[in-house]
Amino acid sequence: MGGRTRVGWLVALVSLLFGGMPVAWAAEPIRIGMVTPLTGPVAFSGQSQANATKIAMEEINARGGVAGRPIQLFVEDGICNPAQSVAAAEKLINRDQVVALIGAFCSSATGAVMEVTKRYRIPQVTGVSTAPVLTEQGNPWFFRAQATSRLLARAFAPTLVNKEGIRKVAFLVTNEDWGRGMAKEFGEAMTKAGARVASTDFYQVSETDYYSYLTRIKTLGVDALGMTAYETHAIQLSRQIKEVGLKAKLFGEGIWTIDAYLKAAGPYSEGYSAAGYLVLQIIAKAISDARSAESARIRDALEKVEYSGFNGTFRFTPTHQAYDFNVYMVQLRNQVPVVLNVAKIPKP
């Protein structure tokens, strides 16, 4: 197997256990909602995001909350399914009376929830969803604190082609917004850099057998295979790539928990801890800047917010796409992660 290259943020967060809300707060809590997959094929990633968001909540509250008010987090399971995520968002807004919402993880689910938050005039921030179309719709209530597939491709395609020597590439991606966006943007950027796209295949999230795709891709003699995969898919893909004898570099988009991936191509997972942590910190900064927990004022403050995190400063464009922060390309060499490239996301 060739080198395994991963595009994303290289972050490790410590898992903690949490108690309840502090009992001595004089003011009512500021209610923040989160829609994330807690069950289904993306459960590990969603749980990682939720746990790290709780870490952020505890840190914010430990230093006095926001304007003397504690943050209270309400989490609902969206399963990365658009309909389920919409139902979860409706529950958070109507039952729990949240003033801002994080989510909904998978790009297709996030896009569906955007219509709900727009209707209720609730600011929504994602730190995960990369499909470019989300911020191209001009939704005034939606913000993305993550790079798009297009921005990642522009940042790293030259490295993949010129430094990693990829001249012929195939794509095997999920048949939803994330996968389609990744294949399109990386395909175009790598072609511009001098590579050739040999094939692009889309698989359904419900599929578990990829032998027919992989067997055909093997006959093409590609240098690399670009993929999107949630953790349950990635376990099967890792095994089946090895079984069919596909000798190609693998690369993808997002955040992979490297330790899990290294265990004999067995337990494989995506850890989106950093995304959850950062997004709540950004929302808290906006609330502090606004000096208000009213949804409309939070939205207005998000448009002007500047938050300095562990991977740079987050600012938003007029279409609410974050920029000025760093993203990383990491390659596994003899099972050791090595940073190949660091890029600052420019203002689009």
Do 82 and 117 share a structural domain?
A: yes
pLDDT of residue 341: 85
Q: Are residues 191 and 64 in the same domain?
A: no
Residue 220 and residue 197 share a domain? yes
The string of pLDDT tens digits covering residues 183-223 is: 999 999 999 999 999 999 999 988 999 999 999 999 999 99
Query: Within a domain: residue 305?
Result: yes
Q: Assess if residue 213 is contained within a domain.
A: yes
Indicate whether 19 and 112 sit together in one domain: yes
Dihedral sign for Cα 166, 234, 228, 213, please: positive
pLDDT tens by residue, 101-110: 999 999 999 9
Reduced to 3 states, what is the DSSP secondary structure of residue 70?
coil
Phi, psi of 314 (to 5 degrees): -105, 125
155 & 134 share domain: no
Rounded Cα gap, residues 157 and 19, in angstroms: 44
Question: Three-state SS string across 306-344, please?
Answer: CEEECCEEEEECCCCEEEEEEEEEEEEECCEEEEEEEEE
CA 133/CA 77 separation, integer angstroms = 24
Look up tokens 């609330």; give the residue: 287
Tally of domains in the chain: 2
- Is 88 inside any structural domain? yes
Examine residue 264 and state whether it is found in any structural domain, yes or no. Answer: no
Looking at per-residue pLDDT, the higher value among 5 and 340 belongs to 340
Mean pLDDT of 283-295: 97
- The pLDDT score that the predictor gives to residue 254 is 65
Identify the burial level of 346 via C-beta atoms within 10 angstroms of its C-beta, where 0-12 means exposed, 13-18 middle and 19 or more buried. Answer: exposed
Q: What is the mean pLDDT of residues 115-136?
A: 96
Asked whether residue 183 is domain-assigned, the answer is yes
pLDDT tens digits, one per residue of 55-83: 999 999 999 999 899 999 999 999 999 99
Say which residue the tokens 């921005």 belong to.
151
The pLDDT value given to residue 12: 35
3-state secondary structure of 240: helix
Percent residues over pLDDT 70 in the chain? 86
* 17-44 residue pLDDT tens: 333 444 455 689 999 999 999 999 889 8
Same domain, 138 and 191: no
CA dihedral of residues 281, 151, 35, 57 (deg, nearest 10) = -10
Residues 19, 134, single domain; the answer is: yes
DSSP per residue, 22-68: -S---SPPEEEEEEE-SSSTTHHHHHHHHHHHHHHHHHHHHTTTBTT
According to DSSP, the residues that pair with 293 across neighbouring strands are: none
The answer to whether 92 touches 101, Cβ cutoff 8 Å, is: yes
Residues 18, 131 within the same domain: yes
Among 254, 283, 309, which residue terminates a domain? Answer: 254
The C-alpha atoms of residue 300 and residue 307 are separated, in whole angstroms, by 15
Does the N-terminal peptide bond of residue 104 adopt cis geometry, omega within 30 degrees of 0?
yes
Instruction: Write down the pTM of the prediction.
Output: 0.84
Name the residue range of residue 239's domain: 149-254
HSE of 165 in the Cβ direction (CA atoms, 13 Å)?
A: 5
Question: For 233-237, what is the mean pLDDT?
Answer: 86
251 in Cβ contact with 5 (< 8 Å): yes
Q: Which domain CATH number covers 118?
A: 3.40.50.2300
3-state DSSP assignment of residue 210: coil
Instruction: Among 254, 286, 316, identify where a domain stops.
Output: 254
142 and 30 within one domain? yes
Question: Is 341 within the bounds of a domain?
Answer: no
Residues in Cβ contact with 148 at an 8 Å cutoff, skipping those fewer than 6 apart: 130, 131, 132, 134, 135, 181, 185, 321
Greater model confidence, 206 or 125: 125
In a domain, 337, yes or no: no
The pLDDT of residue 24: 57
Nearest to 252 by CA among 329, 148, 346, 342: 329
pLDDT (0 to 100) of residue 25: 59
**Of 223, 254, 285, which residue is a domain's last?**
254
The answer to whether residues 164 and 232 belong to one domain is: yes
Q: For residue 82, what are the β-bridge partners? A: none
Q: Name beta bridge partners: 30.
A: 71
Closest Cα partner for 284 from 87, 89, 64? 64
Q: How far apart are the first and last CA of the chain?
A: 36
308 and 179 assigned to the same domain: no
Give the separation between CA 97 and CA 100, rounded to whole angstroms.
Answer: 9
* Residue 265, in any domain of the structure: no
Same domain, yes or no: 33 and 21:
yes
Q: Pull the structure tokens for residue 218.
A: 């093997």
Of residues 37 and 332, the one with the higher pLDDT is 37
Q: What's the mean pLDDT in 230-258?
A: 83
